[in-house]
Amino acid sequence: MSLTSAPKEVKTSRIWLGGLITIALAVVGNLILVWLANLLVEIPPEFEPLQPWRVSLFTVVGVLGGVIVYAILAAKAKRPIRTYKRVAWIVLALSMIPDIGLYFANVMPGTTLTAVIVLMLTHVVAGLIAIYVLPMLTRAK
């Protein structure tokens, strides 16, 4: 039995800066996605969820939630990066449910299958950045 503790997997002093960088990259990535989508496919302008300010706001909120979960896991979990990635993949999958419901409920002006698919892709962009960039920026060397 060793009296020394296992080396830390996450450098906790980097979490908040890494989180800010991750949030910024996710916002920029999603704004580029929406810009490209508007060039390539027809997205009704009245479809509010894909307005740049809404995409930015919801990206910040979602990725900030991921950063908070990551910080908690870094402090509490035995293998925080592995645990975070597992949780994040589950949350990413679950985040699609409201978008699917939005499409089938058809209660929002401008709701089309194309618009909803692009909205779901914003979840994927933010999720992939949060899942891979945040641990990369905070991993203990």
Contact at 8 Å (CB) between 80 and 55? Answer: no
Which positions ≥6 away from 53 have C-beta within 8 Å? none
How much is the mean pLDDT over the chain? 94
DSSP annotation of 95 = T
Which residues does 3 contact at the CB level (< 8 Å), separation at least 6? none
Q: Which amino acid belongs to residue 109?
A: P
- Residue 135 near residue 9, CB atoms below 8 Å: no
0.75 surpassed by pTM: yes
Residue 7, pLDDT score: 60
79-127 pLDDT per residue, tens: 999 999 999 999 999 999 999 999 999 899 999 999 999 999 999 999 9
Residue 140 has pLDDT above 80, yes or no: yes
